[in-house]
Structure 1
Amino acid sequence: MSTGILVYLIVANVYVFLLMWLDYYQQKTGKKEWPVSEWQMMTIGLCGGGLGGALAMIILGHKENRQRVKIIFSLGLIIAVILFAKMVGWI
């Protein structure tokens, strides 16, 4: 098994979750000290961080009304499942 893929998936998902949390926090408090790029969240989400983004949407209720974000995170989740399946030898 390749632990590199697993480490990448963990880091990507935690990173997207933290970006979503930071964006949510800044939106609620009105403080935009470090602006979060939606493009950055969606790019990392598409590259395997879809689970972290989806969990942030569910837990925080942030960006849950944006259809394109849901689609991107769903595609990212599919990519993550494919990478994981490849890592464990299912495909």
Structure 2
Amino acid sequence: MGRDARKKIHIFFSGLVQGVGFRFTSKAIANRLGINGWVRNTQDGRVEMFLQGEAEDIDKFLDSLKDEFRHNITGIDIKKETGPCDCKNFSIRF
């Protein structure tokens, strides 16, 4: 795929997404698909995430995560990003 197929997105997941392995599962899926970015818990009970990678891989990532946590996720807020990310891999932020 060409560089124009790359995308960056900023996501907030709502629901029962903390304390259930959401961040660690996200990291495992991202590493498998070669997606860079980060994930962290927020003070308000959501999970925040930044993803950078091939559009097709990000779509696969989201499908896998939504399938794995289909009973936990009650809302997803996705925004496209244009700014830089210094991400060389996918990390869990604390």
| TM superposition score normalised by structure 2 | 0.28
Q: Which has the larger radius of gyration?
A: 1
Whose strand proportion is higher, 1 or 2? 2
Whose helix proportion is higher, 1 or 2? 1
| TM superposition score normalised by structure 1 | 0.28
